[in-house]
Structure 1
Amino acid sequence: MSSSSLNIAVIGAGAIGLNHLENFQQHPDARIVALAETSPERGREAADKFGVPELVTDYSTLLERDDIDVFSIALPNFLHAPVTLAALRAGKHVMLDKPMATNAAEATELAAEAERQGKVLMVGQNNRFTPEVQTAKQLIADGVLGEVYHAKTAWTRRAGIPKIGSWFTQRKFAGGGCCYDIGVHALDRCLYLMGEFDAVSVTGQTYAKFGPRGLGQGNWGKSEADPHATFDVDDLAVAFIKLRSGRTVLLEASWAAHQPDPDFNGTQLFGTEAGVQFPPLRLFRHGEHGYRTELVDSTTPLADPNRMVHFVDVVLGRAEPYVKVAESVAVQRILDAIYQSTASGREVRLDETPVTPS
Structure 2
Amino acid sequence: MTSAAPEGAPRRLRAGVIGLGWAGQQHVAAYAADPTVELVALSAMEEHLLEQFGEEHQVPGRYQDWKQMLAEAELDVVSIATPTFLHEPMAIHALEAGVNVITEKPMAQSGEAAARMVEAARGAGRVLDVSFNHRRRGDVTALKDVVDSGVLGPLYYAKTGWVRRQGIPGLGTWFTKAGSAGGGAMMDIGIHMLDMTLHLMGEPAVTAVSASTHAEFGPRGRGGSGFGISQVEEGTPFEVEDLATAFLRLDGGATMLLESSWAQWIPHDLCYVALYGAEGGATIEWGGPDGPTITVWTEVAGIPAELRPAVGADGNHAAAVADFLQKVRSGDVAAHDGSQALRRARVIDACYASAEAGAEVAVAQ
Query: What is the TM-score when the length of structure 1 is the normalising length?
Result: 0.91
Q: Which residue of 2 aligns with 1:343?
A: 356
Residues in 1 aligned to 2:12 and 2:348: alpha-carbon distance in whole angstroms: 36
Instruction: Work out whether residues 88 and 108 of structure 2, in 8 Å CA contact, stay in contact via their aligned partners in 1.
Output: yes
- Residues 1-358 of structure 1 mapped to structure 2, 5 A cutoff: 3-65=10-72, 67-261=74-268, 263-279=269-285, 280-287=293-300, 291-299=304-312, 306-317=319-330, 325-350=338-363, 352=365
Instruction: Work out whether residues 30 and 317 of structure 2, in 8 Å CA contact, stay in contact via their aligned partners in 1.
Output: no
Quote how far apart the aligned CAs of 1:291 are: 3.5
User: What amino acid sits opposite 2:284 in the alignment?
Assistant: F
Matched residues, number:
350
SS in 1 for 2:159: strand
Distance 1:43 1:223, change over 3 A: farther
Instruction: Work out whether residues 27 and 317 of structure 2, in 8 Å CA contact, stay in contact via their aligned partners in 1.
Output: no
User: What amino acid sits opposite 2:345 in the alignment?
Assistant: Q
Residues in 2 aligned to 1:178 and 1:87: alpha-carbon distance in whole angstroms: 28
Please list the CA deviations of residues 160-218 of structure 1 after superposition, one character each: whole Å capped at 9, or x if unmatched.
11121121111121111111111110000100111124111111111111111111112
Kindly report the root-mean-square deviation, in angstroms, between the aligned alpha carbons of the 2 structures: 2.4
Instruction: Work out whether residues 133 and 315 of structure 2, in 8 Å CA contact, stay in contact via their aligned partners in 1.
Output: no
Residues in 1 aligned to 2:148 and 2:53: alpha-carbon distance in whole angstroms: 42
User: What amino acid sits opposite 1:349 in the alignment?
Assistant: A
Instruction: Work out whether residues 128 and 336 of structure 2, in 8 Å CA contact, stay in contact via their aligned partners in 1.
Output: no
Residues in 1 aligned to 2:104 and 2:244: alpha-carbon distance in whole angstroms: 21
Quote how far apart the aligned CAs of 1:322 are: 10
User: Where do 5+ consecutive residues of structure 2 fail to align?
Assistant: 1-8, 286-292
Instruction: Work out whether residues 153 and 267 of structure 1, in 8 Å CA contact, stay in contact via their aligned partners in 2.
Output: yes
Distance 1:107 1:197, change over 3 A: farther
Quote how far apart the aligned CAs of 1:25 are: 2.1
Residues in 2 aligned to 1:133 and 1:323: alpha-carbon distance in whole angstroms: 22
Which deviates the most, 281-290 or 148-157?
A: 281-290
Which deviates the most, 210-219 or 239-248?
A: 210-219
Instruction: Work out whether residues 134 and 302 of structure 1, in 8 Å CA contact, stay in contact via their aligned partners in 2.
Output: no
Instruction: Work out whether residues 134 and 303 of structure 1, in 8 Å CA contact, stay in contact via their aligned partners in 2.
Output: no
Please list the CA deviations of residues 16-43 of structure 1 after superposition, one character each: whole Å capped at 9, or x if unmatched.
2112112222321122211111222333
Residues in 1 aligned to 2:315 and 2:62: alpha-carbon distance in whole angstroms: 36
Distance 1:222 1:42, change over 3 A: farther
User: Where do 5+ consecutive residues of structure 1 fail to align?
Assistant: 353-358
Which deviates the most, 165-174 or 293-302?
A: 293-302
Instruction: Work out whether residues 207 and 235 of structure 1, in 8 Å CA contact, stay in contact via their aligned partners in 2.
Output: yes
Percent identity over the alignment? 34
Residues in 2 aligned to 1:322 and 1:296: alpha-carbon distance in whole angstroms: 31
Which deviates the most, 38-47 or 182-191?
A: 38-47
Q: Which residue of 1 aligns with 2:288?
A: none
Residues in 2 aligned to 1:269 and 1:127: alpha-carbon distance in whole angstroms: 17
Please list the CA deviations of residues 45-81 of structure 1 after superposition, one character each: whole Å capped at 9, or x if unmatched.
3323433222111100022236211121001011111
SS in 1 for 2:72: coil
Instruction: Work out whether residues 199 and 241 of structure 1, in 8 Å CA contact, stay in contact via their aligned partners in 2.
Output: yes
SS in 1 for 2:92: helix
Instruction: Work out whether residues 314 and 321 of structure 1, in 8 Å CA contact, stay in contact via their aligned partners in 2.
Output: no
Instruction: Work out whether residues 74 and 97 of structure 1, in 8 Å CA contact, stay in contact via their aligned partners in 2.
Output: yes
Which deviates the most, 299-308 or 247-256?
A: 299-308
Residues in 2 aligned to 1:350 and 1:260: alpha-carbon distance in whole angstroms: 34
User: What amino acid sits opposite 1:269 in the alignment?
Assistant: L
Residues in 2 aligned to 1:216 and 1:321: alpha-carbon distance in whole angstroms: 43
Instruction: Work out whether residues 30 and 312 of structure 1, in 8 Å CA contact, stay in contact via their aligned partners in 2.
Output: no
Distance 1:21 1:304, change over 3 A: closer
Instruction: Work out whether residues 197 and 330 of structure 1, in 8 Å CA contact, stay in contact via their aligned partners in 2.
Output: no
Query: What is the TM-score when the length of structure 2 is the normalising length?
Result: 0.89
